[in-house]
Structure 1
Amino acid sequence: MFPLTILFEDNYLALIHKPAGILVSGNRFKTIVNALPQNLKPSSLNDATKPQPVHRLDYATTGLLLVGKTSSSIRALNQLFENKSISKTYLAVTIGEMDDEGKIKLAIDGKPSQSYYKVLESVASKRFSKLNLVELDPKTGRRHQLRKHLSSIGNPILGDKDYGITDLILNGKGLYLHAYTLGFVHPITNKKMHILDAIPKRFKKLFPALETN
């Protein structure tokens, strides 16, 4: 089984780095769910259970994934998500001219959906005209929400084969979307948690200023 990078772990929960190109769960052998028991320490608590992710990330997306290790913590973490008590930010590389910041409210599958974005840096590109490093704050959690929202305003995510512009799809480099931070109050210890998963190297290669930060 493949190794996972563990960014935080206690008896109740863990935060891990999800690599690109691996399903969180599903019918395949190589999934995050199947790898968790070999990578996390077993909880010593009475209601310990098989580690279980409490949210999803797309196959091509990298970054932070929150995992429960006991039955009570899994229920509590699910409740935090339902109550919108967990803050999430993503980083993406988008194509084309963008406003410095904005709000996207396009409904997805008939359901209200809302995302905020802020451009952190932009660079000129011979092939794509302009590439932007964008911080994203999704206020709802619809399937492919950020990818659909950015595509809807004409700024698809670099490497997005499903929602990109046909002539501007970057092949072979993956999707430039990264789950960057998670913030919440630990449901058992009441400790304020703010976990960051470092900016991927492939993002830094596009924005030289990041290399010095």
Structure 2
Amino acid sequence: VFVNGEKGKVPTLVQRGQTLELRHALRKEHEWGKGRAQVEVVYEDDVMAVVVKPQGMPTHGNRGGEDAGATASLGASLKTAILYSLQPTPSTDEPLRRPEHCHRLDAATFGLVLVAKTRPALRRLTADFAERRIRKQYRAVVHGKLIGEGVIEEPVDGTAAVTHWESARTVRSLRWGWLTQVELRPLTGRRHQLRKHLAFLGHPIVGDARYAKDPEQLHRGIGMLLAAVALDFTHPISGKPQQIEVSEPPKFGKFLDREDERWHSLAGGADAAAADEQEEEESQKGVPAACLEVEQRQDPTE
């Protein structure tokens, strides 16, 4: 606020006959695409982008809290980082002053985030999320042994929530018994849905400081092993189908390989084989009723 052409201060008293002027602080264009806080951009055009949020970076704000995991000191939010990572839009159709993320990931979660650069793109993408037209896929490492695939139907905070899961890899662990890498597809979008559903199933995500009930299930220093790895959506302007995929962080595979190698090198032999057979028989006992097992398809010729 300026008073007679001079910037006003809190104690400034306005007198009759003085001229008040409100000046908007417009963001300079050169701030787009420049700055130290940047994230990986896997897709970008004139109206939207897809970026990769690192683990430990909050989507907005400056706090990761207990969910930030092992990399909580990144020093910026995704909201700030995308401003410095993307190019200004040349579109004249309601361009945004700064790019806006269209959905959120927990601070401790790594993965893909859709970003809009114009108002029409933001409206379309947020509507598609609300109407469940955007398909998301996650990858996680969980405690225990899961075989096959299934659907978890369990309310989250009193609201219906559905998650499809499929086992991708199981390994033995000296410390935790079994570990499983799972592919996850949330059919609804509740807060902490995947984390709560897997904990409900009795297989919390490795490193989940909030929902792992047993302190022994926390792996200090590795962070939470949950990643948003794929997005299927319709382009908000062209209407063309888009499929974006990234790999999970290398530490997912390294963690499983290390646990598997330690088991076979230190437990190995006949004892390990016998333990595997016993665990195979007991691995699916006690699965909650809300987890509806999907029967494995068999070759009719067998």
| TM-score normalised per structure 1 | 0.94
Q: Which amino acid aligns with 2:245?
A: L
The offset of 1:104, in angstroms, is 0.7
1:178 to 227, 231, 236: 227
Q: Which amino acid aligns with 2:205?
A: I
Structure 1 segments of 4 or more deviating over 3 A? none
SS in 2 for 1:60: coil
Q: Which amino acid aligns with 2:201?
A: I
The offset of 1:27, in angstroms, is 4.9
Higher RCO (CA-CA < 8 Å; seq separation 6+): 1
SS in 2 for 1:156: coil
- Residue segments in structure 2 that go unaligned for 5+ positions in a row: 1-35, 64-74, 258-302
> 149-158 or 31-40, which moves further after superposition?
31-40
Structure with more helix by fraction: 2
Q: Does 1:204 align with 2:253?
A: yes
1:20 to 51, 55, 58: 55
Structure with more strand by fraction: 1
2:208 to 153, 160, 168: 160
C-alpha distance in structure 2 between counterparts of 1:73 and 1:90, whole Å = 24
2:175 to 117, 122, 127: 127
Q: CA RMSD in A?
A: 1.2
Q: Which has the larger radius of gyration?
A: 2
Q: Deviations over 1:7-36 (max 9, x none)?
A: 000011100010011111025671111111
Q: Deviations over 1:88-120 (max 9, x none)?
A: 000000010223211111111110011010001
2:124 to 76, 91, 96: 76
Q: Does 1:30 align with 2:65?
A: no
Instruction: Kindly indicate whether the alpha-carbon contact (under 8 Å) linking 2:139 and 2:227 is maintained by their aligned counterparts in 1.
Output: yes
| TM-score normalised per structure 2 | 0.67
- Residue segments in structure 1 that go unaligned for 5+ positions in a row: 209-213
C-alpha distance in structure 1 between counterparts of 2:173 and 2:256, whole Å = 11
Q: Deviations over 1:9-68 (max 9, x none)?
A: 001110001001111102567111111111100111121111011100000000101101
SS in 1 for 2:76: coil
Q: Which amino acid aligns with 2:194?
A: L
Q: Does 1:59 align with 2:107?
A: yes
1:102 to 150, 153, 160: 150
Amino-acid identity (%): 38
The offset of 1:207, in angstroms, is 4.0
In structure 2, the residue matched to 1:139 is 187
C-alpha distance in structure 2 between counterparts of 1:166 and 1:207, whole Å = 20
